[in-house]
């Protein structure tokens, strides 16, 4: 990644208050570390770890955890969360495409909705495998392109292409992930579709949350003119409104993602 791409990504993810949106992903993190069979003493790296959802899930299983991310402020939040829970994690500011760790440093490498934003997906995929020891386990999650999470990323990229980073929808399809790890270095690959339900008191409340707290939407909204803002809000509202299930009150939106696990070839 060039210095300016890194700076733009940092600006996006430091904006707003990611924790207030990201906390709704805790279940995906818990499922991933359970499916990977994370054990006490496993050396585990979380890439694009943000405020620590998956790092904390692993720390709850007594793994020896390093949470890495582009944005130092998010990692500070992760450390505060760990302290409140009586857990310990290490942190490292790092670009997923240039991990500052020696080859084969970890037993487990994970990324929940994080590495998908690396500007160079192939390079990031190589880095994930490089720092994983042969026989070590890799675990990833990414929104399905047709799920609200994927559609939201596409919507924001359309309104603010300059700040869009990486190819997040590619990581949300089986073919996309197989293409990134298709050289035989990843074995026992398992893809599964999972769903987390996103709730909000109303579509309007959901919009406010994303506009104020979710970096990509927050930054796009700040840059748009009045017409652009109105269009973004309308399309956002249409999407969440049409995806809600059941009667009121509030909205309950099933959000489906692809979970991929595999083992680095020996
Ligand atoms: C949607 S959040 C996911 C955070 C966390 N993994 C979770 O499950 O809540 C995306 C994260 O990826 C990070 N990120 C974006 N581009 C990155 C890059 N090139 N290298 C490392 N982290 C990156 C952001 O700072 C942000 O914390």
- CB 95 less than 6 A from any atom of ligand 1: yes
Mean pLDDT for the chain?
Answer: 96
Interval 60-77 mean pLDDT: 98
Quick: pLDDT tens for 87-145. 999 999 999 999 999 999 999 999 999 999 999 999 999 999 999 999 999 999 999 99
Q: How far from chain centre, in Å, is Cα 189?
A: 20
* 3 pLDDT more than 80: no
Separation of 49 CA from ligand 1 center, angstroms? 6
Residue 236: what pLDDT? 97
The rounded percent of the chain whose pLDDT value lies above 90 is 94
Identify the residue whose C-alpha is closest to ligand 1 atom 22.
Answer: 48
8 Å CB contact between 25 and 53 = yes
Residue 1: what pLDDT? 59
pLDDT category, 5, cuts 50, 70, 90? confident
Pocket test for ligand 1, best of 59, 70, 112 (most atoms within 8 A of CB): 70
* SS3 state of residue 64: strand
Quick: pLDDT tens for 159-210. 999 989 999 999 999 999 999 997 789 999 999 999 999 999 999 999 999 9
And the tokens for 189?
A: 């690959």
Q: Within 10 Å of residue 220's Cβ, how many Cβ atoms?
A: 27
Distance CA 251, CA 159 (A): 24
Q: Is the preceding omega at residue 249 within 30 degrees of 0, hence cis? A: yes
Identify the residue whose C-alpha is closest to ligand 1 atom 13.
Answer: 48
Distance CA 192, CA 147 (A): 14
* 20 pLDDT more than 80: yes
Distance CA 46, CA 123 (A): 17
* φ, ψ at 14 (rounded to 5°): -85, -15
Separation of 247 CA from ligand 1 center, angstroms? 34
Place of tokens 């398992």: 190
Query: Torsion over CA of 107, 116, 255 and 37, rounded to 10 degrees?
Result: 0
32-51: b or e for each residue (b if 16 or more CB lie within 10 Å)?
Answer: bbeebebeeebebbbbbbbb
Global confidence as pTM: 0.97
* 255 pLDDT more than 80: yes
Domain ranges of the chain: 3-264
Separation of 180 CA from ligand 1 center, angstroms? 18
Residue 4: what pLDDT? 84
* 85 pLDDT more than 70: yes
And the tokens for 207?
A: 């919009």
Pocket test for ligand 1, best of 24, 32, 114 (most atoms within 8 A of CB): 114
Distance CA 61, CA 42 (A): 9
The residues near 26 (Cβ < 8 Å, ≥ 6 apart) are 53, 57
Instruction: Give, rounded to a whole angstrom, the gap between the first and last alpha carbons of the chain.
Output: 29
> Yes or no: is domain 3-264 CATH 3.40.50.150?
yes
Separation of 248 CA from ligand 1 center, angstroms? 33
Residue 2: what pLDDT? 74
Separation of 244 CA from ligand 1 center, angstroms? 26
């Amino acid at each position: 990644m060039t210095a300016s791409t890194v700076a733009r990504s940092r600006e996006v993810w430091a904006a707003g208050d990611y924790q207030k949106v990201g906390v709704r992903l805790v279940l995906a993190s818990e499922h991933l570390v359970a499916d990977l069979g994370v054990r006490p003493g496993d050396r585990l790296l979380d890439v694009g770890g943000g405020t620590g959802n998956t790092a904390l899930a692993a720390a709850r299983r007594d793994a020896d955890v390093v949470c890495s991310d582009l944005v130092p402020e998010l990692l500070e939040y992760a450390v505060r969360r760990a302290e409140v829970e009586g857990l310990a994690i290490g942190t490292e500011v790092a670009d997923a495409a240039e991990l500052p760790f020696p080859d084969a440093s970890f037993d487990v490498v994970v990324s929940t909705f994080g590495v998908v934003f690396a500007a160079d997906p192939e390079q990031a995929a190589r880095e994930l495998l490089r720092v994983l020891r042969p026989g070590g386990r890799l675990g990833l999650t990414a929104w399905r392109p047709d799920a609200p999470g994927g559609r939201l990323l596409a919507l924001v990229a359309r309104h603010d292409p300059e700040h869009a980073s990486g190819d997040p929808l590619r990581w949300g399809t089986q073919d996309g992930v197989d293409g990134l790890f298709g050289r035989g270095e990843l074995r026992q690959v398992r893809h599964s579709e999972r769903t987390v339900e996103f709730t909000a008191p109303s579509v309007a409340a959901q919009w406010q949350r994303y506009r104020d707290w979710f970096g990509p939407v927050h930054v796009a909204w700040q840059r748009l003119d009045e017409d652009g803002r109105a269009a973004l809000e309308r399309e956002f509202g249409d999407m969440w409104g049409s995806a809600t299930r059941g009667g009121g009150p509030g909205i309950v939106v099933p959000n489906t993602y692809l979970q991929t696990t595999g083992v680095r070839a020996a």
